Amino acid sequence: MALASRRAAALLLAIAALVSVLAVPAAAAGNKTGQVTVFWGRNKDEGTLREACDSGLYTMVIMSFLNVYGHGRYGLDLSGHPLAGIGDDIKHCQYIGVPVSLSIGGFGNEYSLPSKKAALDLFDYLWNAFLGGSKPGVHRPFGDAWLDGVDLFLEHGTAADRYDVLALELAKHNIRGGPGKPLHLTATPRCTFPPASYLKRAVDTGIFERIHVRIYADADCEAFWQPAWEKWTAAYPATRFYIGLTADQMTNGWWHPKNVYYGLGPFVQKADNYGGFMIWDRYYDKKYDYTSMVKPYA
């Protein structure tokens, strides 16, 4: 009798333990979306845009950078990639369901938007050179292919810069980014919150579809990214947030895939407006095969 009682009690304990396990979501399951955005265009040896899209790893590709603008001059830097053929690659990516955007800014010092006019001029150039417009005298580097969106990757600026004007003008054309598709407006800041005034004024418009919060190559972000992430996601609840990771194992702030699974993923996915992962960049991702290891946790 005592033996039967002990067996019954053990069975009940086992059932209770199983129920408790099933009732609690898996630590890394969370609010996963499977969305992964990658930056392409920073190294000629990363392969073609078509190859990146065909890898099956990414749900969006951002070309980088348009890094000269604001004073009547415009410059596109794709790190030596030949422009011939990129237009066809863009169309191919779009055909298989991978949108392609263009990031403006970058790490150089030849860009600014010091006035409302400069912002409107930049919009006019972007619209006619890369998006749904056309204008005599404005060269289209990718021919009749037009991109799916614009990203702000701003490493410097002043309080006078009017990225808010640019964002609002792009938003007016949101439903005309292409044939029956939206124009994606995104930003890729360092994790510091609040952001610099020139970016804050833009994102305060509330019209950014997504923000990629970079937590690498910055000592403060590496140490304090969690409270920064919570502030970003709370401040802009209508915007989707992507956590920005580096694929380069030699860059400070690199996350081992196992730590993405056990720590980073479950934390960022607690936010209701979590969107996915942003990977910097295609060259290092191809070299180290990083996204294939972390995408299941996105």
Tell me which residues are annotated as active site: 155
Q: Pick from 253, 246, 293, 280: which is nearest to 39 by CA?
A: 280
95: left (phi over 0), alpha (psi -120 to 50) or beta: alpha
Alpha carbon distance 242, 269 (integer Å): 10
> Is the peptide bond between 281 and the residue preceding it cis, with omega within 30 degrees of 0?
yes
Q: How many CA atoms lie within 13 A of 48 on its CB side?
A: 14
Within the chain, where are the H helices?
2-23, 49-54, 86-95, 116-129, 163-172, 197-203, 219-235, 257-259, 265-268, 282-288, 290-294
Max distance between CA atoms of the chain, in angstroms, equals 95
User: CB of 99 within 8 A of CB of 93?
Assistant: yes
In the block, residue with structure tokens 């937590």: 215
User: CB of 160 within 8 A of CB of 182?
Assistant: no
Q: What is the dihedral of CA 27, 28, 31, 33, to 10 degrees?
A: -170
> Burial, 241: exposed, middle or buried (Cβ in 10 Å; 0-12, 13-18, 19+)?
buried
Q: What is the DSSP letter of 215?
A: -
User: CB of 33 within 8 A of CB of 274?
Assistant: yes
Alpha carbon distance 106, 153 (integer Å): 6
